[in-house]
Amino acid sequence: MQEIGIRELLEQFNARLTRVENTIEDLRREIRVEINELRRKISTNFRWTIGIVLTMWVTLIIAIILR
């Protein structure tokens, strides 16, 4: 078996740590994309909800006035 020097061990450790850091950064990017997509969906659903509520309110007011 070949002995590995301190320098080689440190280089291997550094390479593995770099891979872990890159993986974490990729995951962070994916999470940001997902969060932005969820925010967009929530915003769209909120607008629809407000539109429906306002339409119902106006309809109710018109029905009361024309009664």
Domain boundaries, the chain: 1-67
Residue 11 pLDDT more than 70?
yes
| Coil, strand or helix at 64 | helix
Residue 60 pLDDT more than 90?
yes
Residue 27 pLDDT more than 90?
yes
pTM above 0.75, yes or no: no
Q: Which letter does DSSP use for residue 66 in this model?
A: T
Would you place residue 4 in the very low, low, confident or very high pLDDT band (cuts 50, 70, 90)?
A: confident
Provide the pLDDT for residue 2: 60
Q: Which letter does DSSP use for residue 67 in this model?
A: -
How far the first Cα of the chain sits from its last, in Å, is 96
Task: Tell me the H-state helices in 1-67.
Answer: 6-65
Residue 43 pLDDT more than 90?
yes
Residue 1 pLDDT more than 60?
no
Sequence-distant (≥ 6) Cβ neighbours of residue 4 within 8 angstroms: 12
Half-sphere exposure of 22 (CA within 13 A, CB side): 6
